[in-house]
Structures are given as structure tokens and as C-alpha cells.
Amino acid sequence: MNICIILAAGEGTRMKSKNSKVLHKLMNKPMINYVLEASDSVNVKKKIVIAGKNKNDLESLFKDEDILIKEQKIGKEYPYGTGYAVSLALAEIEDNDKVLILTGDTPLIKGDTLEKFMDYHNKNGNTATVLTAEIDDPTGYGRIIKDNNGNLIEIVEHKDCTEEQLLIKEFNSGFMAINGDALKNSISKLDQNNNQGEMYLTDIFSIMREEGNKISTFLIDDVEEVYGINSKLQLSIAQEVLRKRINEAHMANGVVMENPANIFVEDSVIIGKDTEIRSGVRLTGKTVIGEDCLIYGDTIIDNSIIENEVIVKSSVIENSFVGEGTDIGPFAHLRPNSKLDKKVHIGNFVEVKNANIGENTKAGHLAYIGDADLGKNINIGCGVIFVNYDGKFKHRSIVKDGGFIGSNANIVAPVTIEEEGFIAAGATITKDVGKGELSIERSEQRNIPGWVERKKERDSRKN
């Protein structure tokens, strides 16, 4: 069966961070997750992550997944190097297994590339295959040394290269496919006789060659896929690559993007054709956007479902549902568990939380609708507040079809306003309102003649 070993113990000192390198995020997802997801393309049956000081963090990240984590300990009593790291997984490998070795800080690798790589390894009957690429300046990478027939002789780490070997452009990506029996045999023969005193995993190829095994390389065209991350700058460069891939895939499927370089869409998001996403939009989580929508401004939509023909302007939508033909914003906020039916209007500075709003209902501006169930064709005036909290408990209010809530009204839960109930502006409603009733709750207005003149006289006497 196929087994995957992912090397993830590096501390990444150049990241200048207290956090593990492989747990730094690209498009809101830890970089190691991209490597694991790519390995799924080759039907991996067992995944082994080699951890270091980040063992607890990795265990927490993968607590719900079938991933085995082995710790590479550091100290004078332990060997050092990639060869030792891989040796920690040998007990999990059978002789007839095919072992795919990947690095956790190389998140741009594509699943279909790994699939082609493993197919090449198997179809050519190789004992080992190394995935390679070429670059004008391969500083820091191990060089690929071949014989006249193009067969791999060895991989020489950059620090151990001769002047002639440093001129070689083809380098080791760190990705390898090796037969289980050969991997176990060759690792058992590794030593630390090199400039760094490390157990180099790459030394196994010289051992295999001496024993007559077939070793090949698999050269890929896109060097970007094996781009390793060792700094915050490289992290940002890799994120731009992923952003571009994601946005180009959406545009290929019929989405219009005004300025793709300034649109953030996670790879878990689904967007329907002919929807237009303009500059500054951020779509995250398991968000699903329908067809023929228009989303623009500084809009953030997270884990929400947006049906067809919705317009969203500079607003925030979280864990909510928005029905067909609805328009939202600018500067509106749908907090979790908000559900809007068809053709709802949520205007500027309106906040909705844990509420259901029926078809054709409108809240134009400056309102708070929390813990409420609103029917169809309701008008919510400016400044309306659904008062849902009594200092100890949250309560719900109900407004049925055709209701009218006047400006600056307070709906103090729990109350029910029946069909076509009309709430006068400025009222504070604490009792149920019947069908078709007008409810007014405010003091009678009094106008006191001469009050201002008398006040002036009193003030002058005080002075």
C-alpha cells in the first residue's frame, strides 16, 4: 500500500516566530494541510508526520484525523538529520509498501503532480524515484548527480558540493518515492560522515546504487510547486501563488473578478457562474455563493450560503443564510444564525443576529434585529431595536406578516405582534399587539409657553 511520511520537525528559525513553521497559514490554512491534501491524490493508506517541538500543536491540529505523529527528539544522545527523521517511521512500513516522502514546508505541490510522480515510479519499476526541478539559482538545495545515461548517482547537499557540482541547475525537491524494503535497508546503513555531521536521507541513493537498485528522477516543469518556505516573505509569496490558483479556477468556471489580486477566496468556497466579485472582498470557510450575485466593497462572508441574484455591499456575513434576490448593505452585519428569505432588504448599519426574516421584509437603516422571527412584507423603521436581553436571559420576539415598526421603537422581548400590527414611532412595546392594532406607548407631549424666557431670568439672577 502507499504510505506517506511528511517531515515537519523543522523549527524554522528564519520565520522569526514562536509558532511552528509548518503551522503558519496560507489562505487561512496551515501549510502542512496542503501537503497532506495533495497526498490524498495517490490513495495514501497511512500518513505519518515527523514532528519536533511542535508535536503537541500537531496532535491538536490533527486530533480528529487518522494521522500518526512521531517525535524527532533533539539532544546529544540523538542523531540529527533527515535520515534519522525518516528512520522514526520505519516500524510502520512493510517491505512491499510504496513510501512517499514529502516535506511539510512545501505547500504548493499539486495532487495531480504527485499522482503522475507515483505512476512514473511504479510503471518504470524503480526502487526509488526523486522528484526534481531546475532553477537558475539553486543555492541551498541538494544537487542531482547523474551518469551519462541520465540515471541518478547521488544527491549532494549544497554545503558539500564541489565547485563543479554547484553549477548544476537540477535540484532535489525533497519529495521521494521509495520501495519499503529498500528504504529500511538503506537507512540502516547511513552514517554521519559529512561536513555537517548529519544523517542525510539523500545518502540512501548512493547505497541503493551500489547494491544495483534502479533509481530515477522525475523532472517537473513548474518549479513553483516545490517552493519551500523558510521566511515570512516566502510565506507571502506562496500565498499569492495559491490566491492566483484559486481565483483563476473560479474565473475558468464563469465567475467575474474585477481585480483578482485583491480578492481573497479560500479553497473551500463555491461560487456560481456569472457572479461578480469586486476588489476587496473576502470569502472564507464553507461559503457557497449562488449565480448572478454582485458582491463588492470591503465585504467579508464566512461559512454562509448566499442564493442567486443577491447583492452585498461592504458588509459582514457570518454563519448565515441569504435568500434569492436579497440586497444587503452597505455596512450591514449578519451575525451567526441569521436567515433571510427572498427579496429581503437589509440596509446600512443594520445588524441581524439569530433571527429569521421573511420574504420582502425591509430594514433600511440603523436597526438591531436580534433573537426575532419576522414574517413577510414587514417594514422596520430607522433606529428600531429588538431588546432581547433582560440582564440574565435572552428572549425572542415575533412580528407576523405585514407589520410596521415605526422609527426608534423598542420591541422588548418576549412579545408577539400579530398580522398588520402597527407600532408607532418612539414606542417601547412590552406587551403583545393584536392583529391590525396600532400600538402607541409614550408620554403625552406638553408644550410650556415662556419656559425659555423664565430660564434666562433665573440664570441672570444667579450671575
- CA dist 161 and 55 (Å) reads 33
Is 118 in a helix, a strand, or coil? helix
Do you know the residue count of the chain? 463
Q: Which phi and psi (to 5°) does residue 65 adopt? A: -120, 155
DSSP state of 253: T
Report how far Cα 293 is from the mean position of its chain's Cα atoms.
Answer: 22
Is 56 in a helix, a strand, or coil? helix
- CA dist 95 and 20 (Å) reads 33
DSSP state of 65: S
Helices (H), 273-357: none
Contact 42, 115 (CB under 8 A): yes
- CA dist 208 and 161 (Å) reads 20
How many CA atoms, within 13 angstroms, populate the side-chain half-sphere of residue 451?
4
Catalytic residue among 24, 158, 333, 365: 365
Check if 365 is active-site.
yes
How many CA atoms, within 13 angstroms, populate the side-chain half-sphere of residue 425?
4
Catalytic site positions: 365
